[in-house]
Chains A and B, each alone.
Chain A
């Protein structure tokens, strides 16, 4: 079946502009996660959505970062007034939720470059 998809695959933007990154989770997965991966580093948790519950935003690095999940499916991560340190690969993952054992499946990522 279809895996997690993300768009765009690459995004180059100027410092100060806003960007939107999109994630389509695996059908039937109730949990959705956003992570950030800087060059040569592990993954850093950003935000987690589970069903209709309030999202866990504890990993968002600043108030310039926000995310929405509409209809329990597609999610959009928005970065306002981008800075050069925001350059990274943004990865989305989905899972079956609390009953699914924690196995998260990742999309291919969006590589963001802020110039």
Chain B
């Protein structure tokens, strides 16, 4: 099925560094969501965005809804070991039938203490 283009696929960073990842689409979205998934668990919602240009923070996490409605990014500041996991972007398209989400392929984050 259709997926968003999420990059990078993986990141290996040092504790304390900032992280940035993004998602792009050829279609317009009216909602962007960012999730984190730990091994053996379901995805956990981090941030939800509903308006073009919207910038929202949740602790050390900041996400933005792109002006064109076709992209979004997630930043993590001052990373810590518990940030390790797979981060997924997800979007809901305008005129999308039902409320189904389209997911990116994920960004796997590794943090070295």
Contact = CB atoms under 8 A, between A and B. Distances in A.
A40 B99 CA distance: 24
A59 B99 contact: no
Interface string A12-39: 0000000000000000000101010000
Contacts of A48: 98-100
Contact of B40 (A43, A45, A101, A108): A108
Contacts of A106: 35, 42-44
Given A42-B3, A56-B97, A101-B50, A109 B103 contact: no
Q: Which of A33, A43, A107 has the most CB of B within 10 A?
A: A43
A95 interface: yes
A4 interface: yes
Contact of B45 (A50, A56, A103): A103
Contacts of B42: 4, 91, 93, 106-109
Contacts of B100: 33, 45, 48, 56, 59
Contacts of B88: 42-43
A43 B106 CA distance: 9
A45 B33 contact: no
Interface residues of B, number: 27
B101 interface: yes
Contacts of A103: 33, 45, 48
B97 A102 contact: no
A44 B101 contact: no
B43 A43 contact: yes
B31 A105 contact: no
A3 B102 CA distance: 22
A108 B41 contact: yes
Interface string A83-100: 000000001010101100
A58 interface: yes
Contacts of A50: 98-99
A4 B41 CA distance: 12
Nearest to B108: A40
